[in-house]
Amino acid sequence: MATKNSRTFDFKDVESLEVFMTSHGKIHPAKRTGLRAREQRRLKRAIKYARFLSLIPFVS
């Protein structure tokens, strides 16, 4: 369950996910995204779901 201030990510929202990715399709590290560990894990999962559904590429 997401707390009040924590951020959630939806795998269907491709545009917001691409903000946290490089042009080659890699996920930015937490140091760069500025997310907390739990949020970074949520981001990672959402991106991997989107990749599986071919919404975003694995590599480009």
Partner 1 sequence: MTENTHIYQAMFLLDNEEVRKGFNASRDWVKTTLEKYGIEVKVLRLWGERQLAYPIGRRKRATYLLGWLQASGDSINEVKRELYLLGPVFRCLFLLEDEIPADELATGIQVIADSEIIIPEDMEEPDFEEPYTEPEEEQRATDDKPDAEEDEEGKEGKAGGKAGGKAGGKAKPVVSVAKTKVPKAAAADSSTADEVNTDGN
- Chain residues binding partner 1 by CB under 8 A are 1, 12, 49, 51-58
Closest approach, Cβ 13 to partner 1, in A, equals 12
Helix, strand, coil distribution of the chain in percent, nearest 5: 40, 5, 55
- Which residue's CB is nearer to partner 1, number 3 or number 31? 3
Q: Tell which residue, 59, 60, 55, has the closest CA to residue 12.
A: 55
- Which residue's CB is nearer to partner 1, number 35 or number 56? 56
Q: Tell which residue, 6, 8, 1, 16, has the closest CA to residue 42.
A: 8
Closest approach, Cβ 31 to partner 1, in A, equals 26
